[in-house]
Each structure stands twice: as structure tokens, then as C-alpha cells.
Chains A and B, each alone.
Chain A
Amino acid sequence: MGQFLHTFFSPLDFLRAVPQVWNGFQLNIELMLFAEALVLVLALLLAIVRGLPGRMAAPFRMLAIAYTDIFRGTPLVLVIFMVLRNGVIALTLVYTAYVTEVYRAGIESVHPSQRMAARSLGLSYTQALRHVVLPQAIRRVVPPLLNDFIGLQKDTALITVIGLTEAVAQANFYSTDYFNYAGLTVAAVFFIILTIPLARFTDHIIKEREKRERAQAI
């Protein structure tokens, strides 16, 4: 037991590993920010394409469906190896597939009468989507969206398999240099610190919505 505690929680090693792991962790943050920004935009576009009406749009709908099927089904690690050492692209490809489904669920949750009301006022399909459907849809999917982003943040660690010196790689370097695994603990703490605010923020949004909906019911 003492050996275990020393291996993972030795205070001296913990403190000594912080700068080195932090060095790598900056790469995780960078990957996360770039991938999240891309995912937000691309997934929305795909979700919109999947919802396009009419026979003309059928091939595009099919492509969007094929995309989500393929990249939701392929393990991230495989995708990372296949896109040749580009972490942002790999994370974006896979998480776009997840988040597309989240957006789509949101769009479908907006009652058709809302779109109909917008169209009946003379708004075009695109205007109805932009001003009436999407604002309501996106508001509803913020919690599941943030949940996927927590997953994405953690999965930046998988980039280590292609030899990028992110936090986990740095922690491993530390452990080989000093024969102590406290560096891994440091990396874990960094990830937790990064995700906790997001998790609390998600809780907060859900609670706010419940409060509002309860007020409406009265």
C-alpha cells in the first residue's frame, strides 16, 4: 500500500512533474479548442443537410447519414492512426459525427408547427430554420453538447498514441526518467480540473431550464 501511494502520489514527484506535464497539457487544450470550434460548425452543417427536404436533397442526406454511421462506428484510436498524425482532424471527424446527432435531435424536437408558423409569415425555408428552428433547437441541446465536449477533452489524451508530446506522454516521460508515476496523477488532475467547470456549467443550465419550465407550468 505504501509502495502504491508512493508510486502515484509522492508529493515530491507530484510537484516536480507539474511543470513537465503542464507543458504537454497545453497541447491538449489547444487540440480541444480547435476541435471543438470545428465540431460546433461542421456538425451543425451536417445536421442541417440531414434535415433538408425534397428528392433533390436525397443524395446529400445519404452522404450525411453515411458520414455519421462511419465515424460514430470507428474507434477514435483507429481514426487517429488513419489521418496521419493529425490530432485535430481525427478528433473533429469523430466528434462531428456524435454532435451531428445531438443537433439533429434538437432540430427534431422543435414542433413542426413552429416552422409552419414561420413559413406562413412568408419566411423562406432558410429564414425559418435560422430564426425560428435553430435558436430553439440549439438552446435545447446545450447540455448534451457540453457532455460530448467533456468526452472530447478527455480523448485528446489518445493523441499520445501517435507520439505527440501531450500531457500523458509527458507524464510517461517523467515516469521513465524518475521511476515514479506521480506524473500520471498530475495529468489526471489536470483533466479533471478542466472538465469540472464544464460539468457544473451543464448542471447549472439544466437547473435553470427546469426552473423556467416549472414557472411556465404554474
Chain B
Amino acid sequence: MSANSHFVSLHGVRKRFDELEVLHGIDLDVDLHQVVCLIGASGSGKSTLLRCINLLEKVDAGTIVVDGERITETKVDVNKLRQKIGIVFQAYNLFPHMTVLQNVTLAPRKALGISRGQAEAHARLLLRQIGLEDKADEFPDRLSGGQQQRVAIVRALATSPKLMLLDEITSALDPQLIGEVLELVRELALAGMTMIIATHEMSFAREVADKICFLDAGVIHEEGTPEQIFSSPREERTREFLHRVIEAGRL
């Protein structure tokens, strides 16, 4: 796989849960500094795909290469791998028994072995950048959903990952809180972060993505630039999906 120059490369990835095959052979390439958005109905396999890339799910077949390393081999150090891949979930999943600062410094301190002072200084810097430095000593339940999700993003950034996976991170938020979270993702994209984003926010995907992949029933049915996918989709299913989304008023 040394000839592979993509930063992330999936080939023939299959994943089944008991009887149900959720991913039926996914091929996907993501270059460094690229932002790829995965769109598609709920249950199309977007989340599972993201979870396979940081080995939260084990693939049944196919290969995944991240940063030159074939991570679908059995001898891969998953903890090392996950330190360079940040993931953010729909439900934030902050640790409720820890303050914001403790949430953000946990992985740098325990997984990377960075000293507490250094980790806290870095965490405060990150929190300042998103305007939440004054919340550093609060517990997550004192924050709004938007604030919690921004903290979750910063927590994922604290190990300085090379790749970020965002799994429908605005789906659990009140409409008026979505903007602040998307704004942060936009800044990350501008800063050159490589990202794979599963999202239902079509206008955001159109604006921020270099490439859009439309998933349906565990296959990437169509991929292309935002312009091409949203303006002139080739596949009937893509058209249908986008049509439904437009009717739902999300574009």
C-alpha cells in the first residue's frame, strides 16, 4: 500500500452487525487538508463508516489506510491510532463527573503523558479560542448544548489529531445553537484540518466540503464536488434524496 498517497484510504470495507450488513464495500479516499462530507439518510451507514476509521468498530472485510498505516491489520496499536484521529459524536459524550478543563486535559495527560501544567495551558488556549475559557472550571451540565459540543470538539483537538471525524454533531442541538458549532468546524476547515463529516446540514456541507459522498444502504452511490452533487447529481437515488431534503427545508 506504499503507493497510496491519500491520507485516508478505504478499500472494499464491509461491516455487519449480526444479520445486517451495514457497509457493503466502501471505497473512499481523503487527502490531507481535505474536507469530505458524508450525506445520506439515517441508517445509511455514515456513523458506522466513521467508527470504522478509528477502529471503534472492527471491519469484517476490506482495508483502511490512515497516514500510511494499514490500520485493519491485527497488530495495530489502537490507542496510538486514536490519538491522531479525533472523533466528535452527536450526543457530545462529555464526562459529566469532570470539569470542562478536566475533560479536555484527560487524554493529553493520560494517553500522551503530557504534564498537567502543560496540558492545562494548552487546554485553556483552545478554550479561549472558542470563547469558553471562563467555563473551564464548570461541569458540563452547566453548559448549553452548543457549548458542550464545542467543548467536545476541543477535547478531540487536544491530542493534536491529524484527522477529525464528525458524526452528525449538530443533530441533537436546538436550531439556534447549531450556528456556533458549525462556525467552529468552518474555522477548522479553513485552518486546513483534514475532516470527514457525517451531516444532515446540506448547506453547510455545500459550503465547507471539498468532496461530497452520498451513502445509501451501505454503499457510496455517488461522490463529487459539492457543486456537482447538489446542482447536477448523476444518480437517481441522489436526486431523490436531495429532493426529500429540500422538501424538508434543510437546503
Contacts and interface: CB of A to CB of B under 8 A. Distances in A.
Contact of A113 (B78, B83, B93, B155): B93
B42 interface: no
Contacts of A124: 79, 111
A117 interface: yes
A115 to B, nearest CB: 10
A147 interface: no
A122 B111 contact: yes
Contact-size category for B = 20 to 34
A23 interface: no
A119 interface: yes
B89 A123 contact: no
A109 B61 CA distance: 33
Contacts of B82: 119-122
A131 B98 CA distance: 10
Interface in A130-161: 131-132, 135-136, 139
Contact of B111 (A116, A127, A132, A136): A127
A136 B56 contact: no
B7 interface: no
Contacts of B75: none
B95 interface: yes
Interface string B66-89: 000000000000111111000101
A54 B120 CA distance: 35
A127 B93 contact: no
Interface string B112-123: 100000000000
Contacts of A139: 97
Interface string A34-49: 0000000000000000
Contact of A135 (B91, B97, B110): B97
A116 B167 CA distance: 14
Contacts of B81: 122
Contacts of B56: 116, 119-120
B105 to A, nearest CB: 11
Given A116-B56, A119-B56, A120-B54, A132 B95 contact: yes
Nearest to A128: B110
Nearest to B102: A131
Given A121-B107, A121-B111, A132-B95, 7 more contacts: A114-B93, A116-B56, A120-B56, A121-B83, A122-B82, A123-B106, A123-B111
Interface of A: 113-114, 116-124, 127, 131-132, 135-136, 139, 216
27 contacts: A113-B89, A113-B91, A113-B93, A117-B93, A117-B95, A118-B95, A118-B106, A119-B56, A120-B82, A121-B82, A121-B107, A121-B111, A121-B156, A121-B159, A122-B81, A122-B82, A122-B111, A122-B159, A123-B106, A123-B110, A124-B79, A124-B111, A127-B110, A132-B95, A136-B96, A139-B97, A216-B141
